[in-house]
């Protein structure tokens, strides 16, 4: 794996015409968070182990801010659904230890968690690196979409 681009969420070369969608942020959202469209048509965090498309919040290029600058609730948030094989700089939930090829599912707050036998049907991506996250907060991780 190539070294990650630490200043952007999209890690893979862009397809010819990537489709970006803008939604109202249902709550404060960090770029790299997994999001889903809720019943109101807003972007919200999916439930843990929810079966959702690989839609991630991207950095806010319109306001020239970086990946560590959150979208406030009610802001227009740029998102993209990634395709199989593409890489994303996402967020790994606290308390998860992963190695390359560890399968990941939705956790709370737009983060990702290690899949278990109970959550295995809702796989979204797999880790491309080794991380033992006991930091007390989510950490960035490069993942490959399944």
Question: How many domains does the structure of the chain reveal?
Answer: 1
> Is residue 107, in this structure, part of any structural domain at all?
yes
Beta bridge partners of 20: 80
> Is residue 24, in this structure, part of any structural domain at all?
no
DSSP code at position 44? E
pLDDT at 62: 77
> Is residue 53, in this structure, part of any structural domain at all?
no
pLDDT at 16: 62
Torsional sign, CA 87, 35, 33, 14: positive
Return the structure tokens found at 83. Answer: 């395709």
pLDDT at 4: 64
Range of the domain at 94: 88-145
pLDDT tens digits along 68-106: 999 999 999 999 999 999 999 999 999 999 999 999 999
Cα distances (Å, whole numbers) of residue 26 to 43, 61, 73, 89, 109: 6, 19, 6, 21, 11
> Is residue 126, in this structure, part of any structural domain at all?
yes
pLDDT at 14: 66
pLDDT at 72: 95
CA distance 85 to 73: 31
Give the mean pLDDT per block of 10 residues along the chain (146 residues).
Answer: 67 72 96 96 95 94 85 95 94 96 94 88 93 95 96
């Amino acid at each position: 794996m190539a070294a990650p681009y630490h200043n952007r969420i999209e890690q893979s070369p862009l397809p010819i015409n990537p489709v970006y969608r803008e939604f109202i942020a249902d709550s404060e959202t960090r770029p790299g968070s997994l999001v889903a469209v809720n019943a109101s048509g807003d972007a919200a965090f999916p439930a843990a182990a929810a079966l959702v498309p690989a839609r991630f919040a991207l950095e806010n290029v319109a306001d020239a801010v970086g990946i560590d600058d959150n979208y406030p609730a009610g802001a227009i948030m740029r998102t993209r659904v990634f395709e199989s094989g593409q890489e994303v700089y996402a967020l790994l939930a606290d308390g998860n230890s992963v190695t390359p090829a560890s399968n990941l599912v939705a956790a709370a707050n737009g983060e990702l968690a290690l899949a278990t036998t109970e959550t295995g049907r809702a796989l979204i991506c797999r880790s491309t690196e080794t991380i033992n996250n006991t930091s007390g907060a989510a950490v960035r991780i490069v993942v490959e979409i399944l």
